[in-house]
Chain A
């Protein structure tokens, strides 16, 4: 047996988990190879150190209190378990739940349509019609020479404001 093969099997050897013939072969290698014997010893010492890691040994009083607390928790369900139970109770009636959900979606859709129709701004064709009517009115005023007169008055105001002469009262 090669050293690499032997070292890969040392943990299984310690676990007594090797088939008989492999075990015999490995033991034969160990008798000849000091390096692999040292590796085996390192593994044994490491596992012994880990096994010595302490854990608490609580008293009987501790365990009595432990059980008392557990009994109380079993008797009074937590909020999370209540919520879980409530949801669980919903899932046993899937058809009414589905029908309610569909009705809700339809109601939201219809309400949305009514509101959006009411809030729609004037369309482009309406704006165009209004502008056309306004331009016709302006043409009429121009025909009546009223616009020209107004423009003349504006020009007179400009002349007045730029003049250094005092404005007539």
Chain B
């Protein structure tokens, strides 16, 4: 259900208030960027996809009926863009986890073994079917409840739970060697 503050923001946006658009972006930019990054494993793609999500939301404000929260709606647009992107592009895991992440002040990973471990985790996650990957990222990294993930993915909650269960079970088997090294 949409919050009071979100409703007020949407009203301002519909009236063409530029500052309301800035507020919308600032409130959600990090979440959408990280979600897109974890799905695509590429900073440039994450930037493009999250920006496109804001533009689509802004231009599609008429379609927002308030049945879900503003954040759920934005997540849904972003996930759909990511799923569409993944149909045509294989995530570049190798470059993504070690790349310069567009932030010169970002801390580089010091431990080579840790980098290697995380690269393998990234590859294993990238090998998951996109729906399982989305359920995993939204649950583990964004800490969302299954009900909200179901709204974002437009799937029944039971399907989301099954996808999450399969994702974790597959990763557990694939990452057995890495867990032993920790």
What chain A residues lie within 8 Å of B85 (beta carbons)?
none
CB-based contact A56/B21 at 8 Å: no
Tell me the bound Cα distance from A55 to B125 in angstroms: 14
Which residues between 42 and 92 of chain A lie within 8 Å of chain B, taking CB atoms? Answer: 42-43, 45-47, 49-59, 62-63, 66-67, 69-71, 73-74, 81
Across the interface, name the chain B residue whose C-beta is closest to A69.
B51
What chain A residues lie within 8 Å of B72 (beta carbons)?
none
Across the interface, name the chain A residue whose C-beta is closest to B164.
A11
CB distance from A164 to the nearest CB of B (A): 86
Tell me the bound Cα distance from A68 to B51 in angstroms: 11
CB-based contact A70/B55 at 8 Å: yes
CB distance from A62 to the nearest CB of B (A): 6
Tell me the bound Cα distance from A3 to B66 in angstroms: 44
What chain B residues lie within 8 Å of A49 (beta carbons)?
117-118, 121, 171, 175, 178-179, 182
CB-based contact B121/A52 at 8 Å: yes
What chain B residues lie within 8 Å of A57 (beta carbons)?
101, 103, 106
- Whether, in the assembled complex, B1 has its beta carbon less than 8 Å from a beta carbon of chain A, the answer is no
CB-based contact A66/B51 at 8 Å: yes
Across the interface, name the chain B residue whose C-beta is closest to A77.
B59
Tell me the bound Cα distance from A66 to B69 in angstroms: 24
CB-based contact B101/A56 at 8 Å: yes
Binary per-residue interface labels of chain A (119-130) against chain B in the complex, 1 for a CB within 8 Å, 0 otherwise? 000000000000
Q: Contact partner of A56 among B22, B106, B165, B175, CB < 8 A?
A: B106
Tell me the bound Cα distance from A5 to B18 in angstroms: 55
CB-based contact A56/B37 at 8 Å: yes
What chain A residues lie within 8 Å of B165 (beta carbons)?
11
What chain B residues lie within 8 Å of A53 (beta carbons)?
38, 97, 118, 121-122, 125, 141
CB-based contact A51/B141 at 8 Å: yes
What chain A residues lie within 8 Å of B172 (beta carbons)?
42-43, 46
Across the interface, name the chain A residue whose C-beta is closest to B105.
A59
Once A54-B118, A67-B22 are accepted as A-B contacts, the answer to whether A43 and B106 lie under 8 Å apart by CB is no
CB-based contact A70/B25 at 8 Å: yes
CB distance from B124 to the nearest CB of A (A): 9
CB-based contact B26/A47 at 8 Å: no
What chain B residues lie within 8 Å of A46 (beta carbons)?
168, 171-172, 175, 179
Tell me the bound Cα distance from A43 to B37 in angstroms: 24
CB-based contact A55/B175 at 8 Å: no
Which residues between 6 and 34 of chain B lie within 8 Å of chain A, taking CB atoms? Answer: 18, 21-22, 25-26, 29, 33-34
Across the interface, name the chain B residue whose C-beta is closest to A17.
B146
Binary per-residue interface labels of chain B (136-164) against chain A in the complex, 1 for a CB within 8 Å, 0 otherwise? 10001100001000000000000000001
> What are 7 A-B contacts with C-beta separation under 8 Å?
A47-B140, A49-B179, A53-B97, A54-B101, A57-B101, A67-B22, A70-B21
Q: A residues bordering B, Cβ < 8 Å?
A: 11, 17, 42-43, 45-47, 49-59, 62-63, 66-67, 69-71, 73-74, 81
Give the 3 A-B residue pairs with the shortest CB-CB distance, closest first.
A56-B101, A46-B172, A45-B179
